[in-house]
Amino acid sequence: MNLDALLTYQKADLAYKKLNDEIKKNQNYVEMRSNKKKFEAAKNAVLESEKQAENIVSSYEQGLKFIEQCAGEIEDLCAKLENGDADEETERSLVVRLEELQTSVNEWKKRVDGLKVLADKALGDYKAAQVSGKKSRADYADAKAKFEAFQKGKEAELKKLKDARDALAGAVDPALMETYLKLTGDGVYPAFAPATELDKNMSCGVCGMVVSSSAKTDLENKGYCRCETCRRIIYKL
C-alpha cells in the first residue's frame, strides 16, 4: 500500500498541530483555563455554603421550637408543683419529668450554640468564596481578552495550514485515513513513524521498541506494521 499521500498529509497535519499547540500554550490561554476552574470551584463553594446555611437554619429553628415547647411544659409542671395539690407519688413523677425536660433543654442549648459556630463558619466560607469567585471571573475575563487578541493574530496562519492540510485529505487511502484519525484522536503523534534498523532488528522510530518477528515479517512483506508498544504504524523508508 502506498503511504506517500498519507505521509504528506501527516506532515501538513503536524505543522497545523504545532501552531495550534503553540496557541494553546500561550500564557493567557493557560491563565484563562485556570481562572475558569477557580471560578467554577468558587461557585460550587458558594452553593455548598448556601446548602449548609439552609441545614443550619432548619436545625436552629427546630431546636428553638423544641426549647419553646419544653419551656411551656416546664412552666406547667412548676405551676402544679407550686400548687401543692399533688400527692407524693404524683409529685415525684412531676419532678422526674421536670428534670428530664431540663436535661433535654440543656442539650439542645448546647446544640444551638454549636449551630451558631457552624453558621459563622458557613458565612465566612460563603464570603470567601464570593470574593474568590469575583476575582477569578475578573482574571478570566482579562486573560480571555488578551488570549483572543493573540489568537486573532494567528488566525490567518492557522487557517492557511488547515486549508493546506485539508486539501491533501482526498488523496489519502480511506482505510489509512481511518487508522490515522483513530490514532491521532487518541493523541498519538506522529501516527505513522519510520522503522529503524540496528543489528538486524527493526524498531519503532518513535518509541524505539524492537518489533516482534511477526511484525517484522509484515514490515518486510507489506512495507508497514503495527508497533505493539505505542500502537503507531511503522513503515519502511
**Three state DSSP letters for the chain:** CCCHHHHHHHHHHHHHHHHHHHHHCCHHHHHHHHHHHHHHHHHHHHHHHHHHHHHHHHHHHHHHHHHHHHHHHHHHHHHHHHHCCCCHHHHHHHHHHHHHHHHHHHHHHHHHHHHHHHHHHHHHHHHHHHHHHHHHHHHHHHHHHHHHHHHHHHHHHHHHHHHHHHHHHHHCCHHHHHHHHHHHHCCCCCCEEEEEEECCEEEECCCCCECCHHHHHHHHHHCEEECCCCCCEEECC
Q: Is the pLDDT of residue 1 over 70?
A: no
Q: What is the pLDDT of residues 137-185, one digit of tens each?
A: 999 999 999 999 999 999 999 999 999 999 999 999 999 999 999 999 9
- How many residues make up the chain in this entry? 237
Q: What is the mean pLDDT of residues 212-219?
A: 91
Cell of 27: 500564557
User: What integer best gives the mean pLDDT of the chain?
Assistant: 90
Q: Hey, what domains does the chain have and what are their CATH numbers?
A: 4-171 (1.10.287.1490), 174-235 (no CATH)
Residue 43 to residue 82: CA distance in whole angstroms = 58
Residue 190 to residue 82: CA distance in whole angstroms = 94
| pTM of the shown model | 0.59
What pLDDT, on a 0 to 100 scale, did the predictor assign at position 60? 83
What pLDDT, on a 0 to 100 scale, did the predictor assign at position 195? 94
From the CB of residue 225, how many other CB atoms can be counted at a distance below 10 Å?
24
pLDDT band for position 90 (cuts 50, 70, 90): confident
| 203, β-bridge pairs | 196, 210
Q: What is the mean pLDDT of residues 91-110?
A: 85
pLDDT band for position 83 (cuts 50, 70, 90): confident
